[in-house]
Amino acid sequence: MQLRQMGHSGTAVTTLCLGTMTFGAESSEEASFRMMDDYAAAGGNFIDTADVYSAGLSEQIVGRWLKARPTEAAQMVVATKGRFPMGSGPNDLGLSRRHLTRALDDSLRRIGVDHVDLYQVHAWDALTPLEETLRFLDDAIRAGKIGAYGVSNYLGWQITKAVHLAKAHHWAPPVTLQPQYNLLARDIEHEIVPACLDAGIGLLPWSPLGGGWLTGKYRRDQTPTGTTRLGEDPNRGVEAFGPRNAQERTWNIIAALEEIGTTRGVSMAEVALAWLVQKPAVTSVILGARTPEQLAENLKAANLTLASEEMSRLDAASEPIVGDYPYGAKGIAQRHRRIEGGR
């Protein structure tokens, strides 16, 4: 499995990261242990969890595995997150120093370590001054509790503000962003990806297979059934399936994946993951499997490199749908006129 620097930090991580949101909920502890074993055996060295995953149980399962596998644990880069509610009190959530101090200490206790390599704020907090959050994160690095920090689900202006505030105060800057990113969801390319490239921030995409859509499990005009994410929840299935099913773009993407996969003799999931690994700014793609079998299928993507023609085919099929302004044709034309001196 390939290695890349974790953003502008000196830490090297594999291009496929093991996500653990399913641990303790959709995946039993036994299945979770097997997935971590299989991931490590495949050469992976990056595990991502969060305090809210299964109300802390995911972190506990990861911690028990690390304790039981000291050799593998020594090579593993561990990331977790804090921000969302872990209690019913008014200060049991957010990015305040008060909440993050407790959240980080609780995560370290659940994982059974005194330090994590990457601590991520799970989402923007409009109520807490950004300076308070960044100062806490810098202090946590200086205290040896975290190696570096990242942000998740931030917008472009929020990323840029965090970077420049950190520089102005001589605090450590963020090294990673964890966003939703896949062939079906490319809107981060408008401003978020450029902001990350400008700051040397590495992307850790979540939902790389679009909730299963990019594996080929859903068929046109057929409401999902059975053991799929949408099939197991009929109400959610109808609500989530309908709008995406109605877009011709969805089926153009799936057709391109299927054609490339058939030609290469690989699965659609492998092609979708390989496309994402090869996109600008991407450091490591987070795999969120529910079973060892799903993980095994996804790990095959580590051995697939797409040709430029295949990347272009997928880029064209998945071109984001935008309006005229500011990102569409009229917006681009207007910017060109202003650059050339016209109105």
Dihedral sign, Cα of residue 185, residue 188, residue 190, residue 193: negative
- Of 39, 53, 119, 181, which is the active-site residue? 53
Mapped onto helix, strand or coil, the DSSP state of residue 125 is coil
How far apart CA 298 and CA 15 sit, in angstroms, is 12
Q: What single-letter amino acid sits at 124?
A: W
Beta strands in 155-284 (DSSP E): 176-178, 202-203
The phi and psi torsions of 83 (rounded to 5 degrees) equal 160, -40
Task: Give the C-alpha separation, 214 to 208, whole Å.
Answer: 8
Spatial separation of the C-alpha atoms in residues 66 and 110, rounded to whole Å: 11
Other Cβ atoms within 10 Å of 239 Cβ, number? 11
53 catalytic per annotation: yes
DSSP for 155-218 reads -HHHHHHHHHHHHHTTPPPP-EEE-B-BTTB-GGGTTHHHHHHHHTPEE--B-TTGGGGGGT--
Sign of CA dihedral 34, 35, 37, 41: positive
Q: How many helices (H) and strands (E) are present in the chain, helices listed first?
A: 13, 10
Whole-angstrom distance, CA of residue 278 vs CA of residue 203:
12
Q: Are 150 and 204 in contact (CB under 8 A)?
A: yes
Residue for token digits 């040709």? Answer: 307
Distance, in Å, from the CA atom of 223 to the CA atom of 234, rounded to the nearest integer, reads 9
CA distance 295 to 321: 31
134-145 in b/e burial notation, b at 16+ Cβ within 10 A?
A: bbbbbbbbeeeb
Rounded distance, CA 280 to CA 284, Å? 11
Indicate which residues carry an active-site annotation: 53
